Amino acid sequence: MRLLLRVLAPLLGLLLAVVGLAVVVETVTLWVSPTSSPLIVPWPTWLAAAEGLTWQSGSVRAAAVVVGIVGLFVLILGLVARRHDVFLADPVPEVTVTTSPRSIARAVGHEVRAHDEVVSASVVASAKKVTVKAATLDPAEEVRATLRDLVETTLARLPLARRPRVAVSVTTTKGVK
């Protein structure tokens, strides 16, 4: 989502700049020579077409709906693409410290993968929850309890302002020990 916003924001900015430049050019042209025809935008034709429109016209309502939908899309896109920072314990009241969920997942994943009984693991973290999916050659229930304690210990070492929930799932893989 953030990538889409990084592409969409400059394009919308460029579009607004071009429209603003066209308005400035047309205004200066009208001031300099009031009797001349428009330079870039055929605004007299547009003005004549718009004089017959009312709020009840289908084209006006359709344009309003399209603008509303595009605006709602951009608003939702902006809200969804915000940074999902995880707050850490503040060292002093004037300082706010944050980290990314990816950093927490990386720290937990490093500890989980370093465990002898784990063959592979994936970790997904957010401010509210850390989910660990691991594979082992040993019985899954024994390893699950150990990994849960390991994840809890790892999270306890981090200066998190709020402790996330932990979900650990372990599967036993087939293979020779």
Question: CA 81, 87, 92: angle at the middle one, nearest 5?
Answer: 140
Say if 85 falls within a structural domain: no
Query: pLDDT tens across 29-48, in order?
Result: 888 888 888 888 888 888 88
Q: Which of 27, 49, 80 is the last residue of a domain?
A: 80
Give me the DSSP letters along the chain: -HHHHHHHHHHHHHHHHHHHHHHHHHHHHHHH-TTSPPSSS-HHHHHHHHHT--TTSHHHHHHHHHHHHHHHHHHHHHHHTS---EEBPPSSTT---EE-HHHHHHHHHHHHHHSTTEEEEEEEE-SSEEEEEEEESS-HHHHHHHHHHHHHHHHHHS-BSSPPEEEEEEEEPP---
Q: Which of 50, 80, 110 is the last residue of a domain?
A: 80
Instruction: Tell me whether residue 135 is exposed, middle or buried, using C-beta atoms within 10 angstroms of its C-beta: 0 to 12, 13 to 18, 19 or more.
Output: middle
Residue 19's pLDDT band (cuts 50, 70, 90):
very high
Do both 111 and 149 map to the same domain? Answer: yes
User: Closest by alpha carbon to 125, among 95, 155, 96, 170?
Assistant: 155
Q: How many CB atoms lie within 10 A of CB 130?
A: 25
Q: Which of 47, 80, 113 is the last residue of a domain?
A: 80
Do both 113 and 75 map to the same domain? Answer: no
pLDDT of residue 1 exceeding 70 = no
Domain span at residue 10?
A: 2-80
Residue type, 61: R
Token pair in block for residue 11: 């394009």
User: Closest by alpha carbon to 125, among 102, 91, 152, 142?
Assistant: 102
* Model confidence, pTM: 0.58
- Higher-confidence residue: 166 or 8? 166
Say if 66 falls within a structural domain: yes
Which of 3-7, 31-35, 107-111, 156-160 bottoms out in mean pLDDT, i.e. has the lowest?
3-7
Residue 175's pLDDT band (cuts 50, 70, 90):
low
Question: Which CATH number do you get for residue 143?
Answer: 3.30.300.20
Query: pLDDT tens across 93-125, in order?
Result: 888 888 999 999 999 999 999 999 899 999 999
pLDDT of residue 153 exceeding 90 = yes
Total number of domains constituting the chain? 2
Q: Which residue has the tokens 């594979």?
A: 135
